[in-house]
């Protein structure tokens, strides 16, 4: 795993956005894997700026988001579909029909998950996957457990994730307790991955990730066997400061 340590959040965001820009410029019809959460907001703002200036064109890009709460409607301002529309899709020239977020309202989630995986495969697989990392080491909503799932699936959220995400909600009880998430397989099949870690809240997990082995207790640790992963973190999230 390559590691880039940045001085601050803005530098991390720009670095990440530059990698996305290079990807799209070298393959205009590429498939991007996108993440939500507070960390990539700055990266998305940089991409919006670059798009406005004409430095990158998203018109042929297809995107697949990692996850979505369940159950939640796309109009709900806490949904990840809403987040993506607000933070990125409405600000760049991507064709909204080519953007995919798991369906948080699926009547048959198992079928919807299977179809989500099939659409990723049919599109040719993810060229560049953007990831955040949970304080417990989760990637997407693949939470620490005895086993990790290969495909997209419905999962329960851990206490730690519910607590961490409660900052976006009025109260902790409002945080959905389930989510639909891409599995480890779709993430690991991405040709290239960038994982962002910002701020002291991520120092402990980044330290464990860098110094420890591969374990399902830290789902992000599986990334260590992927051939093209770059971690972009801020200095205060990096152990050797």
Q: Which of 67, 68, 117, 127 is catalytic?
A: 67
Least spacing, CB of residue 208 vs ligand PGA, in Å:
15
Among the listed ranges 8-16, 33-41, 50-58, 173-181, the one in contact with ligand PGA (CB under 6 A) is 33-41
Using CA atoms, how far apart are residues 174 and 19, in angstroms rounded to an integer? 35
Using CA atoms, how far apart are residues 212 and 102, in angstroms rounded to an integer? 32
In this chain, which of 14, 112, 133, 190 binds ligand PGA, going by CB under 6 A? 133
Q: For residue 5, what are the β-bridge partners?
A: 233
Quick note: the x/- pattern for ligand PGA over 39-58, rule CB under 6 A, is: x-------------------
Using CA atoms, how far apart are residues 37 and 138, in angstroms rounded to an integer? 12
The answer to whether residue 226 is catalytic is no
Closer to ligand PGA by CB, 50 or 179: give it: 179
Closer to ligand PGA by CB, 98 or 195: give it: 195
Least spacing, CB of residue 37 vs ligand PGA, in Å:
3
Question: Which residues contact residue 68 at a Cβ distance below 8 angstroms, ignoring those fewer than 6 apart?
Answer: 79, 80, 81, 101, 102, 103, 104, 179, 180
Say if residues 104 and 180 touch (Cβ distance below 8 Å): yes
The answer to whether residue 136 is catalytic is yes
Closest CA to 24 of 7, 3, 47, 53: 47
Tell me if 132 contacts ligand PGA by CB under 6 A.
yes
User: Nearest 5 degrees, angle CA 211-CA 215-CA 218?
Assistant: 75
Residue count of the chain: 241
Q: Which of 51, 138, 153, 198 is catalytic?
A: 138
Tell me if 137 contacts ligand PGA by CB under 6 A.
no
Tell me if 183 contacts ligand PGA by CB under 6 A.
no
In this chain, which of 37, 137, 144, 219 binds ligand PGA, going by CB under 6 A? 37
Say if residues 226 and 193 touch (Cβ distance below 8 Å): yes
- Token readout for 83 is 């987040």
Residue recorded with tokens 């709900």 = 76
The answer to whether residue 143 is catalytic is yes
Closer to ligand PGA by CB, 123 or 188: give it: 188
The answer to whether residue 153 is catalytic is no
Give catalytic residue positions: 67, 136, 138, 143
The contact set with ligand PGA (CB under 6 A) reads 37-39, 132-134
């Amino acid at each position: 795993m390559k590691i880039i340590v940045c001085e601050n959040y803005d530098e991390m965001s720009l670095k990440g956005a530059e990698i996305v820009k290079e990807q799209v410029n070298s393959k205009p019809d590429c498939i991007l894997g996108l993440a939500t959460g507070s960390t990539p907001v700055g990266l998305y703002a940089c991409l919006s700026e670059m798009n406005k200036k004409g430095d990158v064109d998203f018109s042929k890009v297809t995107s697949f988001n990692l996850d979505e709460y369940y159950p939640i409607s796309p109009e709900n301002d806490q949904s990840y579909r809403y987040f993506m529309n607000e933070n990125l899709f409405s600000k760049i020239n991507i064709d909204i029909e080519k953007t995919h977020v798991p369906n948080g309202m699926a009547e048959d989630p198992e079928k919807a998950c299977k179809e989500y995986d099939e659409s990723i495969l049919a599109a040719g697989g993810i060229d560049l996957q953007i990831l955040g990392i949970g304080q417990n080491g989760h990637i997407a909503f693949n939470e620490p457990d005895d086993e990790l799932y290969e495909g997209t699936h419905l999962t329960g959220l851990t206490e730690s994730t519910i607590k961490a995400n409660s900052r976006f909600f009025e109260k902790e009880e409002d945080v959905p307790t389930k989510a639909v998430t891409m599995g480890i397989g779709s993430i690991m099949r991405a040709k290239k991955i960038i994982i962002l870690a910002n701020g002291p809240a991520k120092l402990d997990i980044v330290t464990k990730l860098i110094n420890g082995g591969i374990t399902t207790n830290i789902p992000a640790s599986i990334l260590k066997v992927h051939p093209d992963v770059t971690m972009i973190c801020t200095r205060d999230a990096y152990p050797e400061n």
